[in-house]
Amino acid sequence: MPHALQPQLDALLDQMITQQRAKVLRIARELNPSITPDDVLNPHDFPELDADSRYNFEDGILSGYISAQMALRAEFKRLEDEA
């Protein structure tokens, strides 16, 4: 049986991830206006992104949100499997 908070937590993390992806893309486009959403998945291909501390900081936050969402999903799945 799923935990009662699972849908709310997943939706909250989805919203946070969506907002952070938009922020990362906006910063990337300040550095290089031709950057696409796919380009930010490989920032090392773009020296201006790779060298920018602000970009790297915000991209790290995005990675943390995604990791937290994956961890929560795995934990809820584990709890569900145990029930």
| 17, HSE (Cβ side, Cα atoms, 13 Å) | 14
Q: pLDDT tens for residues 29-79?
A: 999 999 999 999 999 999 999 999 999 999 999 999 999 999 999 999 998
End-to-end CA distance of the chain: 7
The C-alpha atoms of residue 48 and residue 66 are separated, in whole angstroms, by 24
Domain ranges of the chain: 6-82
Reported pTM: 0.90
| Residue 3 confidence (pLDDT) | 75
| Residue 13 confidence (pLDDT) | 97
Tokens 């709890």 correspond to 79
Helix ranges (H only) for the chain are 6-31, 47-50, 53-82
| Residue 11 confidence (pLDDT) | 95
**Are residues 69 and 14 in contact, defined by beta-carbon separation less than 8 angstroms?**
yes
